[in-house]
């Protein structure tokens, strides 16, 4: 028992010394732990701030990329819309065309049905139409005139046309004095024809001797200034041709003298001049 009591006392005596040592060490160690906690908090705050900055940067980058993708998607979505609008317009046009064609077909079918009804109601008109068509078929078809394959040149054609016109004027003028001589009742005065005859009185190629005799009679009936002009012109021609020697005179010159003297004689017979 004494030994145990001694051991208990020794143990109890040693315990407070240990506790004091532990307390002292704990007291000594507490400020260090506080300083280390503060430094750790600062490091953690710096790390968290860095992480926050990185996160914000990444968020900005993600937002920019998202915006770019959205814009691309919007553009890609707009283009098919336009295509769809174009396709819808083409479809509308097709529908309109189809409707118009169907309406035309319906109108044509209505017209055909109306014609058929009319033909059923009026059989007599059909028979008349058949008779008319048969008559038309029996009639001889008119021949289409062929093209004029004239080998003449344009100048030659013009010359020929002028020659034909001149021949026609000559024939009309000669016919004019013949009608005056033979059928005075149906004769009508024409100044162009009279002036042509006076102009060509001394031309034997256009007016032969027989027709000249009738013309001389016609000229003798002319009155006024025109008669005096013809009379003086005949005298002038005779004096001009008389100045030419007989050996030099041509047949045409002699013919002119003869016709001029005949005209003067005829005028003097009907109305002698004051000269």
d(CA 9, CA 102) in angstroms, rounded, equals 127
Burial letters 191-220, b for 16+ CB under 10 A, else e:
eebbebbbeebbeeebbeeebbebbbebbb
Same domain, 217 and 119: no
Do 230 and 180 share a structural domain?
yes
pTM surpassing 0.95?
A: no
Same domain, 248 and 173: yes
Residue 229 located in a structural domain? yes
Determine contact, residues 271/229, Cβ cutoff 8 Å: no
Examine the domain organization and report whether 252 and 192 are in the same domain: yes
Over the stretch 164-203, which tens digit does the pLDDT of each residue have?
A: 898 999 999 999 999 999 999 999 999 999 999 999 999 9
Task: For 96, list phi and psi in degrees, rounded to 5.
Answer: -65, -45
Q: Are residues 266 and 218 in the same domain?
A: yes
Tell me which of 163 and 70 has the higher pLDDT.
Answer: 163
The total number of structural domains in the chain stands at 2
* pLDDT level of residue 260 (50, 70, 90 thresholds): very high
Mean pLDDT over each residue of the chain, to the nearest integer: 75
How confident is the model over 135-144, as a mean pLDDT? 60
Predicted pLDDT at 126? 55
**Tens digit of pLDDT for each residue in 92-138?**
777 787 777 777 777 777 777 777 776 666 555 556 666 656 665 65
205 plus 246 within the same structural domain: yes
Q: Among the residues of 122-153, which ranges form H helices?
A: 123-138
pLDDT band per the 50, 70, 90 thresholds, residue 261 = very high
| 193 and 179 Cβ atoms separated by less than 8 Å | no
Alpha helices by DSSP H, 122-207: 123-138, 154-182, 191-199
Q: Could you tell me which residue, 36 or 151, shows the higher pLDDT?
A: 151
Are 176 and 264 part of one and the same domain? yes
The pLDDT value given to residue 208: 94
Whole-number Å distance between alpha carbons of 170 and 200: 10
Tell which wins on pLDDT, 7 or 180: 180
Q: In angstroms, rounded to a whole number, what is the distance separating the alpha carbons of residues 199 and 193?
A: 10
Q: Considering 94, 116, 134, which residue would you say is the last residue of a domain?
A: 134
- Is there a contact between 222 and 230 (Cβ–Cβ < 8 Å)? yes
Classify residue 226: in a domain, yes or no: yes
Whether residue 263 sits in one domain with residue 172: yes
pLDDT at 185: 93
The pLDDT of residue 17 is above 50: no
72 vs 184, which has greater pLDDT? 184
Encode pLDDT of 234-253 as tens digits: 999 999 888 887 777 788 88
Domain range spanning residue 168?
163-270
Based on the fold, state whether residues 177 and 122 are members of the same structural domain.
no
pLDDT band at 29 (very low <50, low <70, confident <90, very high): very low
Residue 74 resides in a domain: no
For 253, residues 6+ apart whose C-beta sits below 8 A from its C-beta are 241, 244
Together in a domain, 122 and 169: no
pLDDT of residue 175: 95
Q: Is 205 in contact with 256 (CB distance < 8 Å)?
A: no
pLDDT score at 144:
63
């Amino acid at each position: 028992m004494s030994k145990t009591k001694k051991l208990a006392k020794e143990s109890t005596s040693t315990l407070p010394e240990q506790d004091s040592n532990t307390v002292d060490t704990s007291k000594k160690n507490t400020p260090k732990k506080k300083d280390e906690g503060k430094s750790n908090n600062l490091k953690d705050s710096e790390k968290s701030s860095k992480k926050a900055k990185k996160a914000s940067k990444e968020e900005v980058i993600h937002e920019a990329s998202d915006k770019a993708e959205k814009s691309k998607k919007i553009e890609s979505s707009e283009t098919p819309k336009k295509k769809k609008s174009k396709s819808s317009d083409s479809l509308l046009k097709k529908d309109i065309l189809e409707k118009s064609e169907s309406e035309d077909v319906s109108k044509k079918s209505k017209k055909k049905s109306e014609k058929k009804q009319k033909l059923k109601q009026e059989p007599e008109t059909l028979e008349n139409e058949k008779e008319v068509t048969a008559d038309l078929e029996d009639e001889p078809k008119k021949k289409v005139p062929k093209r004029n394959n004239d080998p003449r040149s344009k100048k030659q054609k013009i010359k020929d046309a002028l020659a034909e016109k001149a021949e026609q004027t000559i024939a009309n003028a000669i016919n004019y004095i013949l009608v005056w001589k033979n059928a005075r009742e149906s004769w009508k005065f024409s100044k162009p024809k009279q002036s042509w005859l006076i102009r060509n009185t001394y031309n034997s190629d256009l007016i032969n001797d027989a027709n000249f005799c009738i013309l001389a009679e016609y000229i003798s009936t002319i009155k006024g200034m025109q008669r005096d002009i013809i009379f003086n012109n005949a005298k002038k021609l005779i004096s001009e041709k008389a100045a030419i020697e007989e050996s030099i005179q041509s047949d045409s010159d002699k013919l002119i003298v003869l016709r001029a003297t005949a005209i003067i004689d005829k005028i003097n017979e009907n109305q002698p001049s004051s000269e």
